[in-house]
Chain A
C-alpha cells in the first residue's frame, strides 16, 4: 500500500500534466471535430460528419507533409550518420567535445531567426546569384519544396546526430577489433557490426525528427512563401484566419491518427530489423 502511495507521488506531476495538457485538449478537439463553424467563426456544437467529408479539400497539404516529412527524415539521416560516426569512432577525444558543442550551437538561436537567414541564402541575391556568375541563370530556390526541404533538414539535423552519436559512442570497440581479427574488411565490419548495433540510435533519431516534421509549420511558412503547405500550415490557417474550428479539429484528428498508424508500423518494422531487440526506445 505504501509502495502504491509512493509511486503515486512520483507519477502524479507527469500524470496531471499529461491529463491537462494532452488528454483533455485531445478530447476537446475530438468533440469539436463533429461540430460546425459559427456564424462569425469559431465553433457551434453539432453532431455531423461534414467536417470529415471535407477533408479532400486539404489533400495537397496532407500529400506535401507525407512526402516531405519522410524525405526530410531520410536526408537528415544520410547527413547525420557519417557525422555521428566520425564524432564517435574516428575523432580524437580532444576535439570531440568541441565538435559536439558546435553541433548544438545553432540551438542557441531561435529557429525563426535561422530560417529567416535561409531566406537570404536561397533568395535571388544568395545562391542563385552565385550560380548566375558561373552561367547558370534563372535558378529559383526560395518558396519551393526544395527550400522547405533544406530548411527542415538544417533545422532538425542535431536531433538526428545526437541519438546516433550516443549509440555509436556506447558501442564496444573490441567488437570491431574482433571482426577485423576474424578477417572482415572494414566495409563488412561496418555492415555487419557497427550498423546493426547503431540501429537503436538511428531508430530514435528518425522517430524524433519524423514526428516533429509531421507537425511542422514554421519552416514551410517562412521558406515556402505560403505556397508549400504542410498540414500544420493548414491548421494554423483554419484556426487563425478562416476561424473554422470544427474543420480544423477534424484535420487535426486525422493528422493524429495518421501519426499513430505510421509510428506503430515503424516501431514494428524497426523491432523486426533489430532482431526482436527490446532496447529500442525513444532516447
Chain B
C-alpha cells in the first residue's frame, strides 16, 4: 500500500467533491477515494445501536433490559454473561425503599422490565393493577417445589403467580466494634438507639425506608415491627426525632460511609452485613433480640414493560441455579432455592449472618402489607426526614 493511499489533500478532496456534485463520479467512488466511507464504517461500529446483532437461538429479545433493584444486590459478571448470551444489555436502576418503587410505578412510565419487590408489597401491586401474572412456560428454570415455602408463597396472590423468589434475608444492624472501647457488642434494638444517642452520636445511619426505620424504632418500646397503632407510632416518632440530631445520615446506601469510617453503625440487610464483615471483620452484623424484619424479595414484571421478552429471559437466566449460586456468593443474601443451595459451599450455608440461630429468627416478623399503604407511617417518615 503506497503512502498517499491513506490520506487526501484538501485541494484534491474539494476536486473530488465537485466531481461528485456534478455527477461525473459515483457516490461509491467519492466515499472510497476520500476515505469517508471507511470513516463512517468506523463511526458506525462505535455506536452500539448500529452494530449488527447476532441472531440467538431463543429468538431476538432486543438490545436491552431495564432492571430496578436494590443496592449491592447482584453479581456484575452474571449480567455480562447474560449480555454475552442474548445480546441484551442489563441497565440497572437502584432503589432504597419499596415506597420509591411503588411511587414510580404509580406515576406511570417507569420504563422498567423487571423489578424486585419485597414480600409484603405484592398484594398492593396486584390490587393497583401494576404487575402482570407470570407465564411459567417462559420460565423454564422456575421450579416452584424447590423453594422454601415461607419465602416463596407471597409471590402468588389468590392462586395466581405474580412474582418468583430472588433472595431472603433479615434486617438487623451492622456495628463497627472497633469503636466500642472494649464495651460488649450490643445485642438489642434498645442498645442500637441508646448508642446512637450516646457513644456513637454522629456516627449512626438509619434506612431511608419507612418499614425498617419506623419498625426498628417501634422495637425500642417492644411494639410490633408492623404496628400502625397511632399511639405506638407517636412513641416511635418521638424516638426518631430525639435521635435525628445524633444521626450521621438517613440513607439506604450505607456501605461507603461504613467502610471509610465516617459511620460506625447502621441499620443493615443480611448481604450488606456479610459483604462488610468479609472485608472488615470488626464490622459485625447484629439481629436485635426483640425482633425485627424477616423478608423475601421477588422478581416481578411491571404492566407495560417495554422489553417483555428480555424481562422473561433475564428472570429465567437469574433463576438458573448455577447463575443464582454465583449471585449468592457475590452478594451474601441467602437463596430459598434448594437447587441453588446444593451448589453453595458448606461454610456459607452455615454462616451465622446468612442463617441466624433459630431463636433469633423466630422473633422476626415479615413486613405487613398495611405498612406500605398506611398514610400515617408514610407521613411519619417524611416528617422525620424534613424535621
A residues in contact (CB < 8 Å) with B = 37, 39-42, 57-58, 60-61, 119, 123-125, 140, 142-143, 225-227, 229, 233-234, 237-244, 247
B residues in contact (CB < 8 Å) with A = 97, 99-100, 102-104, 106-107, 124, 127-128, 202, 208, 210, 244, 247-251, 256-257, 260-262, 372-373, 375, 378-379, 381-383, 385-387
Q: Does the CB pair A41–B102 fall under 8 Å?
A: yes
Q: Which residues on the B side are within 8 Å of A241 (C-beta)?
A: 97, 99-100, 103, 208, 210, 378, 381-382
Chain A proximity of B135: nearest CB distance (Å)? 26
- In order of increasing CB-CB distance, the 5 nearest A-B pairs are A225-B249, A226-B250, A242-B378, A124-B262, A229-B386
Q: Which residues on the B side are within 8 Å of A239 (C-beta)?
A: 103, 107
Q: Does the CB pair A60–B379 fall under 8 Å?
A: no
Q: Which residues on the A side are within 8 Å of B244 (C-beta)?
A: 227
Q: How far is the CA of A229 from the CA of B208 in the complex (A)?
A: 13
User: Which of the residues B103, B256, B386 comes within 8 Å of A243, measured between beta carbons?
Assistant: B103
Known interface pairs A40-B124, A61-B386, A225-B251; A242-B381 also in contact (CB < 8 Å): yes
Q: How far is the CA of A119 from the CA of B379 in the complex (A)?
A: 29
Q: How far is the CA of A239 from the CA of B106 in the complex (A)?
A: 10
User: Which of the residues A37, A60, A124, A237 comes within 8 Å of B375, measured between beta carbons?
Assistant: A37
Can you offer 12 A-B residue contacts whose CB atoms are under 8 A?
A57-B379, A119-B256, A123-B260, A123-B262, A140-B202, A225-B248, A229-B386, A240-B103, A240-B104, A241-B99, A241-B208, A243-B99
Q: Which residues on the A side are within 8 Å of B106 (C-beta)?
A: 40-42, 243
The interface centre, meaning the residue of B103, B128, B202, B249 with most chain A CB atoms within 10 A of its CB, is B103
Taking A57-B386, A225-B249, A241-B210 as given, write out 14 further A-B residue pairs in contact, using a Cβ cutoff of 8 Å, ordered by the A residue number. Answer: A40-B102, A40-B127, A40-B372, A119-B256, A143-B248, A225-B248, A237-B382, A237-B386, A240-B100, A241-B97, A243-B102, A243-B103, A243-B378, A244-B375
User: Which of the residues A119, A143, A229, A243 comes within 8 Å of B385, measured between beta carbons?
Assistant: A229
Chain B proximity of A55: nearest CB distance (Å)? 11
Q: Does the CB pair A124–B249 fall under 8 Å?
A: no
Q: Does the CB pair B97–A226 fall under 8 Å?
A: no
Q: Which residues on the B side are within 8 Å of A57 (C-beta)?
A: 379, 383, 386
Chain A proximity of B176: nearest CB distance (Å)? 12
Q: How far is the CA of A124 from the CA of B256 in the complex (A)?
A: 11
Instruction: With CB as the reference atom, state the residue of chain A lying closest to B382.
Output: A242
Instruction: With CB as the reference atom, state the residue of chain A lying closest to B256.
Output: A119
Chain A proximity of B201: nearest CB distance (Å)? 10
Q: Does the CB pair A41–B249 fall under 8 Å?
A: no
Chain B proximity of A147: nearest CB distance (Å)? 11
Q: Which residues on the A side are within 8 Å of B386 (C-beta)?
A: 57-58, 60-61, 229, 233-234, 237
Chain B proximity of A11: nearest CB distance (Å)? 30
Q: Does the CB pair B257–A123 fall under 8 Å?
A: yes
Q: Does the CB pair A125–B260 fall under 8 Å?
A: yes
Q: Which residues on the A side are within 8 Å of B375 (C-beta)?
A: 37, 242, 244
Q: How far is the CA of A185 from the CA of B251 in the complex (A)?
A: 55
Q: Does the CB pair B103–A41 fall under 8 Å?
A: yes
Q: How far is the CA of A247 from the CA of B208 in the complex (A)?
A: 20
Q: Does the CB pair A226–B208 fall under 8 Å?
A: yes
Chain A proximity of B245: nearest CB distance (Å)? 9
Q: Which residues on the B side are within 8 Å of A244 (C-beta)?
A: 375, 378-379, 382
Chain A proximity of B40: nearest CB distance (Å)? 26
Q: How far is the CA of A244 from the CA of B379 in the complex (A)?
A: 8
Q: How far is the CA of A226 from the CA of B210 in the complex (A)?
A: 14
User: Which of the residues B128, B379, B385 comes within 8 Å of A226, measured between beta carbons?
Assistant: B385
Q: How far is the CA of A143 from the CA of B322 in the complex (A)?
A: 42
Q: How far is the CA of A239 from the CA of B104 in the complex (A)?
A: 9
Q: Which residues on the B side are within 8 Å of A243 (C-beta)?
A: 99, 102-103, 106, 378
Q: Does the CB pair A40–B378 fall under 8 Å?
A: no
Chain A proximity of B373: nearest CB distance (Å)? 5
Q: How far is the CA of A39 from the CA of B385 in the complex (A)?
A: 22
Q: Which residues on the A side are within 8 Å of B247 (C-beta)?
A: 225, 227
Q: Does the CB pair A227–B99 fall under 8 Å?
A: no
Q: How far is the CA of A234 from the CA of B202 in the complex (A)?
A: 22
Instruction: With CB as the reference atom, state the residue of chain A lying closest to B203.
Output: A140
User: Which of the residues A124, A140, A242 comes within 8 Å of B99, measured between beta carbons?
Assistant: A242
Q: How far is the CA of A244 from the CA of B375 in the complex (A)?
A: 8
Q: How far is the CA of A106 from the CA of B26 in the complex (A)?
A: 46
Q: Which residues on the A side are within 8 Å of B104 (C-beta)?
A: 240
Q: How far is the CA of A37 from the CA of B251 in the complex (A)?
A: 25
Instruction: With CB as the reference atom, state the residue of chain A lying closest to B244.
Output: A227
Q: Which residues on the A side are within 8 Å of B385 (C-beta)?
A: 226-227, 229, 233-234, 237
Chain A proximity of B378: nearest CB distance (Å)? 4
Instruction: With CB as the reference atom, state the residue of chain B lying closest to A61.
Output: B386
Q: Which residues on the A side are within 8 Å of B102 (C-beta)?
A: 40-41, 243
Q: Does the CB pair B260–A41 fall under 8 Å?
A: no
Chain A proximity of B212: nearest CB distance (Å)? 13
